Structure 1
Amino acid sequence: MLPADGSAGACAICAVVVNWNGWRDTLVCLNSLFALGGTSLRVLVCDNASTDESLAELDRYLRTRCGAWSSAPGEPGFAHPQAADGVLSVHLVRLPCNLGYAGALNAGIKWAREQWTPRGFWLLNNDVQAQPGALDAILAAHASVPHAGICGSVLMEWDAPDRVQGVAGIYRRCLGVGWHDKQLPAGNAVVRLALDYPIGASMYVSADYLDRVGPLDPGYFLYCEEMDWAERGRRLGLRPVVALRSRLRHKEGASTGSRGGVRNKSLLSERYGVINRLRITRKFWPHWLPVVWASLVVVILDRLMHGETQRARLVLRLMFAPSQWLGDARCEEAGDMTTEAHSRAGSGP
């Protein structure tokens, strides 16, 4: 069984990192979390049924990074981190199948809440690198706004870390299209409130938000899950926020094979981009559904103009496959899963 944490779990933040065939990026992310210091942090890596060497490589890294390793037959192993930093423990949970980003985050949150009682969760893509002070800044920003909901970070370009990749998500409901605003406000502001949703690569939510709003909707699998989550919170009076001093470098599209903009979008990204713009519109703004559906004709023409006939056929096929996007986008609990958990637990604060 896991080491008893006493009251430590109640005051620690839990970072949940989703890995899928991306262990190299995940190691960079973990190194950046170990380097943060400051607020006590438990780290949970949810492996989304990777088919590469992720589990072996992550296990090897954690054995080396965490130092002394001990285990008993039939029980998870645990070790104390070598460095006296803010990371209390690192845990690796293997999911039985690929649940998508939202489903994997839900599974990680559920697992962590069964072990401890974290006061909040920092939800991260594996292809981010947290910059110094990123966690403390996101916690401070969230605490400074009454009725704060999801709190996001500012994402910086991976190859040009001084250039902003995205500050906040803006959503045009009449077309079902969202984009990332890259403009940082002038002055010394620490939060941004004018947004539709925080960018999903880095999101902080309190335990209270989870209790009131519920988990992410795993039906989206990929894309729109943060917009859905923010909208559900907004309708309960909880405001999305961006912490302007919380910065992370981000390899945009690394996990979906879509780096480099719309012309390099993968078929996986194309598929869920179409399905989910229709799904979320039907769920929250059904009066716009005919317009959003018709706007996909423009997408098809764009793909054809650029010689992307396979992608154009995919969009057309999905337009006339309502079973893909007319179903209720209900949250399904990710629980009752058989997880193979390897735990590296550090000492309490």
Structure 2
Amino acid sequence: MQNSAEVSVIIINYGTADLTIKAVNSVLERDHGGRHVDVHLVDNASPGDDAHQLAEAAKSPLWTKHVTTYLETTNHGFGRGNNLVIERLAAQTAPPQKIMLLNPDATLDNDAIDVLAKAMDENPQIGFAGAAIAKPDTGPVTAAFRFPSITSELIRTLGLNVIAKQFEHTAVALPPNLGTQQVDWVSGAAVMMRMEAIQSVGFFDPAYFLYYEEVDLMRRAGQNGWQSWHIAEAKVLHAEGAATGVGQSERKRRPDYWYQSWAHYFFKSYGPARAALLSVSMLGAAGLQSLKSILSGRPSKLPKSFGSDFTRTAVRPLLTGRSPLS
């Protein structure tokens, strides 16, 4: 099969068919500066009638012409779900030059695809170009980041503002109103990726189910000389957390796969010994934050059940010298 699209947009759905349809339509209703853009929609074995809703939407003329739907019987997660499409596209005789990942709970707010593609055309070193992201009700949110580090993780877990201010230069999240510039990595909710850059590192690490997979991908690509840029002129609206159930609330209990992905990332990035030492140190930092919370009468900033969940899913595997995803 030959693909003549310059940009292929991939959207991974799980349980948000109504939002996903809006996301697809936000792509189809724009002309993208005359670029040929197609959409690849993966339903990750959603519960309920998502597959039926998407199949019905796919009967419309625009969808029939521009959208390829993959109704999966297994929930592959984010990275593997994208790999499913990217690997097929890469194997075509005329694969797309660029891949655009768009969350199912996100919509284009301007001609973001054209803006991102132009930035990549003008700078052949850009492997990943991320859009500026805003929540519909509250405005801009962070869409560009520094790589997580041992320092950033300990400070975040300790939760002391006076210390965090002294180490602002290590904070993972960059300001929401950041201008166009090179960064360590950008949000996977709205990012354009050069096919050549993705192929150079062997696509997403399939060990991840959800979270940290795009951080890992851009870290590996960066080691190969590819740059990641935040392009402020590209605008996307994102109802954060609607698709995953995990937003920015610190107190909400995190799923096991969040901690497992965290541990896998640090295991790969820093090695078994330092990842294990970091995980134990974070338990100590979490204990100090909990003690401070008790003494001050203020609620902890840690996710609910952090100590037990983190110990079970991350610390114990790392202390045995392995990643929980290996």
- In the superposition, the TM-score normalised over structure 1's length comes to 0.76
**Secondary structure of the residue that 1:156 maps to in structure 2?**
strand
Rounded Cα–Cα distance in structure 2 between residues aligned with 1:108 and 1:293: 38
Percent identical residues: 20
Amino acid at match of 2:126: A
> 2: distance between equivalents of 1:328 and 1:275?
6
1:273 CA displacement? 3.0
RMSD between aligned residues: 2.7
Give ranges in structure 1 of 5+ residues lacking alignment.
Answer: 68-77, 81-88, 331-349
Provide, for residues 5-36 of structure 1, a one-character-per-residue CA deviation record: whole Å limited to 9, x for no partner: 5xxx2442110100011101101101211122
Structure 1 127/282 Cα, relative in aligned 2: closer, same or farther at 3 Å?
Answer: same
Q: 1:100 and 1:15, CA in 2 relative to 1: closer, same or farther beyond 3 A? A: same
Letter in 2 for 1:272: Y
**Residues 279, 236 of structure 1: CA spacing in aligned structure 2 closer, same or farther, 3 A cutoff?**
same
Q: Which residue of 2 aligns with 1:128?
A: 106
Tell me, in whole angstroms, the C-alpha distance in 2 between the residues paired with 1:155 and 1:27: 19
Answer whether contact 1:275 1:325 (CA < 8 A) is retained. no
State the Cα distance separating 1:182 from its structure 2 match: 2.6
Question: C-alpha deviations, 1:53-95, integer Å up to 9, x for none?
Answer: 11100111221x327xxxxxxxxxx934xxxxxxxx1011022
Q: Is 1:315 aligned with 2:310?
A: yes
Q: Deviations over 1:244-303 (max 9, x none)?
A: 111111111112212351123x432xx233222222122122364213441134346657
Matched, 1:92 2:88: no
Alignment map for 1:1-349 (pairs within 5 Å)? 9-38=3-32, 39-63=35-59, 65-66=60-61, 79-80=64-65, 89-114=66-91, 117-160=95-138, 163-175=139-151, 177=153, 179-185=172-178, 191-193=180-182, 195-264=183-252, 266-268=253-255, 271-286=256-271, 288-289=274-275, 290-299=277-286, 306=299, 310-322=305-317, 326-327=322-323
* Amino acid across the alignment from 1:296: L
Structure with the bigger percentage of helix: 2
Aligned to 1:334: none
Deviation at 1:237, TM superposition (A): 1.0
Pair 1:45–1:309, CA change in 2 (3 A): closer
Look up the equivalent residue of 2:72 and give its one-letter code. L
Unaligned runs of 5+ in 2: 154-170, 294-298
Tell me the amino acid that sits aligned with residue 280 of structure 1. Answer: Y
Q: Which has the higher contact order (CA 8 A, sep 6+)?
A: 1
Equivalenced residue count is 295
Q: What is the deviation of 1:319?
A: 4.0
Please tell me the residue identity of whatever aligns with 1:143: D
> Residue 136 of structure 1: CA displacement?
0.4
Distance 1:309 1:157 in 2: 25
